[in-house]
Amino acid sequence: MFPHGRHLDQTEDDGRQMYSEILEFTRPNIYPAGVRKEALELVMIQINIRETQQLIRTLNEEFDYEDFRAFLFQILDLDTERYEALESKPIREEAKFASSIPLAIFIFKLSFSQKKSHRVAVDSFLLAMCAKKSLLADHLLRIFKFGQDSDYLDRLEDCQPEERQTLWKVLAYLRQGELLYLEERLQSRLIRIDEILEQNPVKAELRCVCYDLIEFSRIGLEHLIEDIRIWAYSRIFTFLARGGVFWGAMISTLGRVPHGDQYRIMSRILYCALPSLNLSPGSMDQELTGGFDQAMELEHPSQSEANMLDLFFRFVIQAFSSQGSLRAALMLDQHFLSIILLCLSPPPTLSTSEELVRLITQNPTTR
């Protein structure tokens, strides 16, 4: 019985010997097909639980170019067979999307082999993957472009939004410390966004920045970069505070993302803009209030609370009037229903937050 788990990778001698034996049975044209498949399935289990240190070491020590290249194409065939089996099962799309990510990460690690022949084999494998239409091919090429193309970060502004969204989604499956190089590249993207926001005038495409900020505001990347969610929301609040083309970019972007993201972003803005309503968004969202206040203070240091509320309302009115899908998503929330009613029938004067609170709390929708 081939053991699996972290303890194996931490066993210096026994683990290596076991991998040596199991990899021997994967050699093509030597052992029966059934034996090779069983051996490859054992290896794939270890790849899928992402305990591959000894496996990579043994491959480097014992496989030449031909054996190594054959090994890559054999695990590709096994992964394709497994994915086709998943396609026929009623499982979530998210599970299908994630199924090939461990193998993509494993192959990316192999590209750093100390043996030149193995690096050449990985390059040859990638060229072959370029001609294939598969989820593994998509994951591989996306990770390799992000990890090895020095200009790719700067060209992210030119990528389709779906490309960047999927890239961040793939990276969210990384374990902390698993590929430090990719974590550093992700950190570089954050630095680049701050550089763009410091430009005067801004030269980059702001909608590209908005797409990334919306993705980074999810919880998924928190394990790689601490407080990236708070960081992303604080930059979203900067867009809100600046108005003009920043509003246009944010509203246009929100109109093109899923309804769940539309509601999530707008509701957090609402919770932070109207703290006097005591909406109780929860402890995680209360952390965002400081980022909101800081963004507003930096852009409008002398503005009163009433003016900040007016800024918020003008943003909501512009968002609702220009994006039907955004309006539909937010109609599901009773607080936003109150906002809609208030915006459609604004009072003659809106001078204080107390008056605003009275108007909303007396509205039949919220009672």
Q: What is the pLDDT of residues 243-290, one digit of tens each?
A: 889 999 998 888 888 878 888 888 788 777 766 444 444 445 667 777
Query: Can you give the pLDDT at residue 285?
Result: 62
Query: Can you give the pLDDT at residue 104?
Result: 92
pLDDT average, residue stretch 210-220 = 89
- Better pLDDT: 220 or 320: 220
Q: Which of 2-16, 179-193, 231-245 has the lowest mean pLDDT?
A: 2-16
pLDDT average, residue stretch 310-333 = 69
- Better pLDDT: 51 or 326: 51
User: What mean pLDDT is reported for the chain?
Assistant: 79
Does 331 score more than 80 pLDDT?
A: no
Query: Can you give the pLDDT at residue 305?
Result: 64
- What percentage of the chain carries pLDDT values higher than 90? 24
Query: Can you give the pLDDT at residue 43?
Result: 92
Query: Can you give the pLDDT at residue 350?
Result: 46
Torsion region of 64: left, alpha or beta (phi above 0 gives left; psi -120 to 50 gives alpha): beta
Q: What is the pLDDT of residues 36-74, one digit of tens each?
A: 999 999 999 999 998 888 899 999 999 999 999 999 999
Q: Which of 155-169, 179-193, 209-223 has the lowest mean pLDDT?
A: 155-169
Query: Can you give the pLDDT at residue 236?
Result: 93
Residue 221 — φ and ψ, nearest 5°? -100, 5
Does 135 score more than 50 pLDDT?
A: yes
Query: Can you give the pLDDT at residue 1?
Result: 46
pTM of the model: 0.78
Secondary structure string (H, E, C) spanning the chain: CCCCCHHHHCCHHHHHHHHHHHHHCCCCCCCCHHHHHHHHHHHHHHHHCCCCHHHHHHHHHHCCHHHHHHHHHHHHHHHHHHHHHHHCCCCCHHHHHHCCHHHHHHHHHHCCCCCHHHHHHHHHHHHHHHCCCCHHHHHHHHHHHHHHCCCHHHHHHHCCHHHHHHHHHHHCCCCCCCCHHHHHHHHHHHHHHHHHHHCCCCCCCHHHHHHHHHHHCCCCCCCCCCCHHHHHHHHHHHHHHHCCHHHHHHHHHHCCCCHHHHHHHHHHHHHHHCHHHCCCCCHHHHCHHHHHHHHHHHHCCCCCHHHHHHHHHHHHHHHHHHCHHHHHHHCCCHHHHHHHHHHHCCCCCCCCHHHHHHHHHCCCCCC
pLDDT average, residue stretch 204-211 = 86
Q: What is the pLDDT of residues 75-114, one digit of tens each?
A: 999 888 888 887 777 777 788 888 889 999 999 999 999 9
From 204, 230, 220, 234, select the one nearest 294 (Cα to Cα). Answer: 234
Query: Can you give the pLDDT at residue 15?
Result: 62
- Better pLDDT: 348 or 310: 310
Query: Can you give the pLDDT at residue 366?
Result: 36
Q: What is the pLDDT of residues 168-200, one digit of tens each?
A: 888 888 888 888 888 888 898 899 899 989 988
Query: Can you give the pLDDT at residue 165?
Result: 81
Query: Can you give the pLDDT at residue 358?
Result: 53
From 177, 114, 186, select the one nearest 143 (Cα to Cα). Answer: 186
- Better pLDDT: 151 or 268: 268
Query: Can you give the pLDDT at residue 364?
Result: 41
Round to whole Å and give the CA distance between 67 and 193.
Answer: 44
Half-sphere exposure of 307 (CA within 13 A, CB side): 9
